[in-house]
Amino acid sequence: KAGVTQTPRYLIKTRGQQVTLSCSPISGHRSVSWYQQTPGQGLQFLFEYFSETQRNKGNFPGRFSGRQFSNSRSEMNVSTLELGDSALYLCASSYDRVSSAYNEQFFGPGTRLTVL
């Protein structure tokens, strides 16, 4: 079974631009979560999508948005990029078993975004 894939793996943008990152979850997984990893703040939760609806949201400004498609693939968008948005963006997927309150999340390799 293929793992979580993220594209692109590396991206360089300039301040003020916008960027779209893509995540393909493991086949059959319906939940996709996004995290930002920076040296100063560590791994921080951005949002989670389940069945094309945002189910949980972290404390990030509205410049960060996401969506999920009917095939569970997800995209996140960052508009008006700032230098501080430089980070590793990680996507995680889970099956979301009804019988379990917690479902193990599988992470992709991440997209390294550099904002100049």
Cα 77 to its chain centre, rounded Å, is 9
Q: 4 vs 81, which CB is nearer to another protein?
A: 4
The answer to whether 101 contacts another protein (rule: CB under 8 A) is yes
The answer to whether 48 contacts another protein (rule: CB under 8 A) is yes
Residue of 13, 55, 67, 73 that binds another protein (CB under 8 A): 55
E-only strand ranges, the chain: 5-7, 10-13, 19-24, 31-38, 42-50, 53-57, 64-68, 74-78, 87-94, 106-107, 111-115
Peptide bond into 8 cis (omega under 30): yes
CA 97 → CA 10, 91, 100, distances in Å? 33, 19, 5
Please state the closest distance from residue 29 (CB atom) to another protein, in A: 11
Q: 15 vs 57, which CB is nearer to another protein?
A: 57
Span interacting with another protein, options 11-19, 39-47, 62-70, 71-79, rule CB under 8 A: 39-47
Q: 85 vs 105, which CB is nearer to another protein?
A: 105
Residue of 24, 33, 68, 72 that binds another protein (CB under 8 A): 33
